[in-house]
Structures are given as C-alpha cells and as structure tokens.
Structure 1
C-alpha cells in the first residue's frame, strides 16, 4: 500500500490529495476481489496458482492485475452481464441526458432525449449518478470512443457544481498510427514488458528525456514523442516489441497483435507506428470520498469526477481502480439515504412548442470539426498564452452559435454532445489560463518552471473566474 501511494504521489507531480490516494489504495484489494466475485476473468499464471501482475509507467514494480490486453472490456462486460440479470435494474438504450433537474438546491432527476422517439422525457430520481466518462473527444486525435464528449461534466457545471483541474488532459503516448485505425490504443503494458520507442530514424530516444526511459510517466513520454516528431518532421514514432517471442506476444497482447495484423503490421517482426492522442481527463466535477458533488442528491464517478487521486498526471491503471472504489463508496452512501422521504415537487415536462426541426445539421458537423482542431492546435501537449487566448476567443464565438442553434431547433444527439463539448472545452481553456506554471500534464512555454506550492485550479459556476486552493 505504501509503495503504491508513493508512486501515485510522484506521478501526480505533488498535486494528488494524500487522503484520497490512501483511501483509494487501501480499498483496492477488496474492490478487486469484488470484481473477481462478479465474474471478471483476469489473467493467471499458466499453473493457475495466482493472477499474473504486470507493470506500467510510473509503477515501481509489478502490481497491476489485468485481463490480457483488454482489461477495461473484461470489467465492463462482466458488470454489464451482472446488471442485465437484475430485475431491479431497468436499462434505457438509445437515450442521452440533456440536463439535470434542479429544484431547491437538490437534484431531482434529468431531462433525457429518447433518440428513437425523437422526444425529451423527464426522468425523476431520488439520487442521480453521473458516470459518463471524460472529455477527450474535445481533441482531434483521441483514444476514446465517440461518447467521451464531457456530458456529465457540462451538465454538473450548468447545475451549479464546481469543477477542478480541467487543464490536466492526459495524452496517451501510444495510439496506433494508421488511416484505418480510428482510436485504437496500444496498451502501455507493452512498454512495461520491454517495448522500445524508436524515432523515425530507428534510434531509441527516451533515455535522453528521462532516466526511466520507456517506463517514465505518460506526460514525459508523450512530450518526448511530440518533440521527436517535430524535431525530425515525422508523422509518428515506433514501438518495438518484436524481440519478444511470438508465443509471449500472443499470450500477453492478443488484441494488439490481431488488430495490427488486420492492418498489415506483424508485431512479431516489425515495430508498431504510434502517436500521442488525448486519452484521459484528470479533472472533473468535485466530489468527496463518497462521490458526492456540491449539489445534494447528485454523485459523480470515474472520469467525470475529480477526487484528487490523479493530481497533475494519472498513473497508469489507477483510473479503473478509482471507478470501482468510488462507485462502491457512492452506492453505500445512497443506500444509507434511499429511504428518506422527499417532498413531491411539480416538475414541468420538456417544452418543445417553441422549436422546429433543423434543416442545417451541417452546421453541427462543421462546428464539431473546428472545435476539435483548434483544441488540438492551441490546447494540446505544449501550450502558450497566445495559443490559449486564441482558443478562448474561438470557443466563445462557437458557443454563441450553439446557443442560438439550441434555442431555435429541437435537440438531437449531435447537438447535445456539441453543446457539452464546447462547454467543457471552455473549462479546459480557462483552467489552463489560470495555471501560471508547468506541472505534470500542463506544459506551457511561457511558464516552464514548476512553482514551489502545488495548488488545485477550481472553477466555480457562481463566477466565471477561477481560483487556486
């Protein structure tokens, strides 16, 4: 436990909350045992005597339980299957939340678009949990699925919740670089098992940037790759694991091996072309150790939330752990209060009487593309004051267009996501402008030094500025 805490604090560039780190790590074993009991098939040693543990960037030794190279999928599929078995759980597919319902300082549910019917419905709830992921789709290149558009963060902000540390966007160093490989992540475990990063000239370069080489934290590796690509004018770098046996690669990295083969890349014989891509939102909606936000009745879990665990840079695999630890903690908090009586409030249905169907959906796709491009160019791996000012000006103009569009036309899935993504992009930009230093994932040429005191950036919807605390 102590070693895991120490590694996390080091990776987070002195900005992690010590109490949150210890709370998460102390509850890790119990949470993982719970996952095993729910049917998650983690990888074991061939003799079946124990689970295989791997090592990733920032970790001092092997401690990461995994399911080959698709751990997230294994966890989500097992828990989805468990949810589907429960008669007490009702699942609504093809629904997307529009906004939270807030009355009297409490969350009472949400307005939700039924995408098939094309109408917005009112969902009442004693308690609401936001677990909608991060906002990496704000960037042109990302490892995330299309749904990672910051919806939960934007809805909580509009409902009056504070957000923190939105400037810390983790860029995963190794996404597959191929025109047909949309958002395919090449797992960090490859570097943990001896994978070597090579420049376009075939030379190893990580030792020039950090003595830990390929096992340095992700922010250092991503910046090194970014610098090498710009220095040499290359489109990508290469990750080479071909010195390992074919059997080893098939056993440890079957998903990566299969996907690369589909694209004509044999990882047993040649290196994998990779580029950095937006991967993880370290900031989010401020919560306590039970996942509770500033708004009574509203919880936020996982990448939507800001717990203080990740600091200025998330250490590999701590995100899945955070989801389970805080998810269970929030469930306990809700269970304790679920029987409390609530006053019956009259909440109006969604009013569509003043809007029409849009005949200009092309505007949404153009704005979406513009947003992601200027965020990549101006608010990416390396930042400057001038780039951030340009980005803020662009996002403010974009939001004016979105507000006008939102007021006049019926909501759609694309419009909801664009509205939320633009809101979260503004939060990222404003947070980055508040931080007058380089720390962890936030690197700016105008303030290259790290300040002696580590402070969070907190934005409060009560006033549009920010403060450090």
Structure 2
C-alpha cells in the first residue's frame, strides 16, 4: 500500500468520520482509516440521543437559546445558528439511511434532557450512538468509492514544506509505516478522555487527531474546556460506564447516602442543571461529607418505562450486581467530552490548507465553555454533511523511494513509556479535573514537559516525528508495531495534557467546564477563545 493515492483520507470511524465519508461526493476516492475496527469509538457509546428542534412546540430559536446559555458566553453564535437550522435535515437524512429512532405511534419520540427547554432529544432506546454508527458503518461498507483501512494508526501529517499544504498522512499498519497521499485529509478521531483517570470514553479516545494536527502547526482552540459527566457508574472493577442524562430527564433523582436530593443546594434546577454545575455539586458535596460516591435513584420512574427506555443501562448494572429497580446506582463524575479541539469554520477547514476536522476532534464554536446535552451527535452529522461540498485539486502522484527494512526492537524502553502512560491520567485528574488551581496546574505542566523530553530522547521518536514522506518503513520485529503504537499514543496523550494544562493555567477565571478555585468568578474580560499554535498561547474575541 506504499504511497497509495486517494482524493480524500478520513481518519476516524465514529459518527463524524462515517457520516462525513458518506457525504463526500461519490466521484472521489476515499480512504477511511480507523485505528481499531469499525464501531469502537465514543459515538458508539453515546446513550442519550441526538438533539433537534423538530416538534410543533419547539423551534431552532429555542434550541439556539438553550445552546448559547449552556455554552456560558463562549459559543460562536453563527456556528450555533448553522447547527440548529440544519438539524431537521440531518435527522431526516439519518431516518432515510435507516436509523431506527424510537417512535410514539407514528411520530418520533423525544425526551427532555438537562438544560433543554423542550423535549427535543431523539433516541433509539439507550444506545442511540450505536444505532447511528451501525447504520452508517453498513452504508460505508456498501460504497464502492470508500476503502476502509482498519487497525491503522495515524502517525504524522504530510505537510508540503514549500506550500504548507497538507497532502496526506503516515500510518502504522501490518508491521510497516506507509504514507498515503490525498488532496484532502479529514481528522475525525474523537476526543481525549483517556488523558484522565476517570472517563466514560473508550480506550481509543487518546486525542490522536488533535495531537498530530498541533504538532504540524494547526491552531487549537479552547483546550481547557472539558465536560465532566456527573453520573458514571462507580463500582469496584467496573469501567466508568455513563448513566445517561436522559435518566434524570425521565425523572431519576440524584441523592446522597442519606437519600437527600442535595443538588438543589447548588442550583434551583437540581439534578437537571447543566452538567458542569451538577458535576461540581457532586464533587463539592463529596468533599464536604467525606463520602466516596452519590447515587442515582430511578425508582421514581415507572418500571415499564425504565425497561423500554434504558435496556442497556439495566443490562450493564445487572452485570455489576446493581439492581436499579430496587436500589440506587452508585455514581461519580468522569471526564466525558472535550469542548476544545482543532479550530475550524463551518466548512470544517482548519488553519492548514488541505486539512479538515469534524466531530469532537474539531472546535467549531458550537459548544462554547460547556456542551449542551445531545448536541454532540448533532454536531457530528450537521458539520460532516458539509463535506458534500468538498472540492479537491487534482495532484500529481508522488513517486516513493525504496522501502527501508528496520530490525529495531525497543523492549528496553517500554518500562519508561508504560510508566509515563500509567501516571499521566492520575496527574491530569488531580490537576486539571473538576476543580483547578494555579499552583497545581504549574506543577503538572512542569511534569508533563519533563516526561515529554524523556519520550523524545528515545529512538522510537524518529518514526513518529522525524520520518520524511519519502521514507516508507517495514519492521522485521513482530513486536515493533505494538511498541511504536504504545509510544505514539503516549506521546499524543502527553501533548493533549500539555494543551489542556497550559490553557487552563492561562484562563484566570471560571466558566463552564473550566473551574478555578483560585479564580471562582466568571469575568466579562475573559469572554474570549484561547488559542494555541505551536507553543504560542493567546486569546481572541468571539
């Protein structure tokens, strides 16, 4: 596959990557690269649903107002208007593709979620993301113009040194590094929840797209804003399985060990306040009481409704010996969604010519400082649909040089790499989690810089950061591919950590998903986006 040439390369196979690939004109040859198999990303885990103002008592204007309010003054109004005005068409497109949303009689069913003024969240039981991704994946596999390249790990963008244009990407696959040439490269690699010790994200969510784009000079925006979901299952040995916002929307109560609905102490909307408020309420309440978890009580909801709406939550809780019909679910907050990402416009263009980003990888300006529930899947679909207008220049295929055979085995360096990868999530959870302070942030930044310096001194680095587009590599060692992937993923996580920490230390206020105990107030002077390009940090007006 050396120097395979495509019109478009899409990296990532969540809702944004799949839908984007389907929207690209059929006359263009598309490579869809996924680092695992199809259906392993965070979209597949999305439970609550997809928001759209399509009922008679709702309107795009109300959806706009709710999104702007949740975004705490940092949403780009034009980007949000674009989102809500195109929502109905996107839902219709998904229905026509075969996504089986729940219905009440002949009408699409909609539920209420936190910070929405109307019930506008469409769902497919409690596995909406899975329903959407499965349908899209099936469509992708039927498209003759799309070639799926699975278990391929993206390493580095191919930037033309003379023009500055992105013209492809290098990937690690089948014990080799291959450069894939393309007129347009679209990053849709999802979020970076694995940088935190507590996260609802799958193992593949390591911020790869943002990291490789930043290293190539792309502008990263609002990296400090991380959404911590209030209610992740907290049982010893269990993953931090997300208990959907929709559960509270349907009437579940958030209670403490004494059975008291404590969230009303912190906000008049109680458990239906915006996510950042509820997460901070839990964090603060646990600190006050010394308890280790709070509880989500579904018993106020009719059992039949629970069985109809939340079969997957029932199944997972039962697996971990939690019978939600007779006792509350133990929950704590966990990192869930990253509002920051690669800065793009409404056409998904980044600051690098030929490079695009969609989904959680991108910063469209839609979510501001705090994402409104169920707007993420909508953003994936609405913004990815703009790729139907993608125009690419015909470029001459670049002739490769000889493939180099490498016999390296880096087993002696893995202890250091694993040590850094294992320590980083705890460092980030305690320094850049729900509550932050300057002293702790500065200490974490110094640690991350030191760890990064150690990684860059290792010989594996030459294949991740220093390989030239004229160089294709084959590895003789069976272990080399997994070793290099571990190294690259760890480097990506370190770079994501650096971006979050630097931005969090820079913003000396509290707003949305960014809360500073040493600067607890929201300041009008900080109604600005934070921007990182290379090591330069600045802010710009909205």
Which TM-score band applies after superposition, normalised by the shorter structure? over 0.9
Q: Which residue of the partner structure matches residue 88 of structure 1?
A: 145
Cα distance in 1 for partners of 2:402, 2:495 equals 25
Q: Per-residue deviation at 1:372?
A: 0.6
Alignment match, 2:485:
413
Which residue is 1:427 aligned to? 499
Distance change (3 Å), C-alpha of 1:89 and 1:40 = same
User: After TM superposition, where is structure 1 displaced by more than 4 Å over at least 4 residues in a row?
Assistant: 343-356, 408-411
Q: Which residue of 2 aligns with 1:386?
A: 439
With normalisation by structure 2, the TM-score equals 0.82
Residues 531 and 537, structure 2, Cα contact 8 Å, conserved in 1: no
Determine if the alignment matches structure 1 residue 219 to structure 2 residue 276.
yes
Task: Tell me, in whole angstroms, the C-alpha distance in 2 between the residues paired with 1:13 and 1:323.
Answer: 21
Mapping of residues 33-432 of structure 1, within 5 Å: 33-45=92-104, 48-103=105-160, 104-114=163-173, 117-329=174-386, 331-334=387-390, 337-338=391-392, 340-345=393-398, 353=406, 356-405=409-458, 406-407=460-461, 412-432=484-504
Q: Out of 441, 457, 462, which is 2:530 matched to?
A: 457
Deviation of the 1:431 alpha carbon: 0.6
Q: How far apart are residue 203 of structure 1 and its match? A: 1.2
The Cα RMSD (Å) is 1.6
Distance in structure 1 (CA, Å) of the matches to 2:267 and 2:369: 18
For the residues of structure 2 that align with 1:352 and 1:415, how far apart are their CA atoms?
20
8 A contact 1:458–1:467 mirrored in 2: yes
User: Aligned partners of 2:330, 2:403: CA distance in 1, in Å?
Assistant: 49
1:47-105 Cα shifts (integer Å, max 9, x gaps): x2211101111101101111111111111111001111112211111111011111021
Residues 291-333 of structure 1: CA deviation (Å, up to 9, x unaligned) = 011111111000000000000000000000000001011x123
Aligned to 2:75: 16
Contact 1:122 1:349 in 2 (8 A): no
Q: Which residue number corresponds to residue 446 of structure 1?
A: 518
C-alpha displacement of 1:201: 2.2
Q: If each structure's strand is expressed as a fraction of its own residues, which one has the higher value?
A: 2
Question: Where in structure 2 are there 5+ consecutive unaligned residues?
Answer: 1-59, 464-479
* Local SS of the residue matching 2:295: strand
Q: Give the TM-score taking structure 1 as reference length.
A: 0.95
Residue ranges of structure 1 left out of the alignment (5+ in a row): none
8 Å CA contact 1:356, 1:408 repeated in 2: no
Report if the CA contact (8 A) 2:187-2:361 is conserved: yes
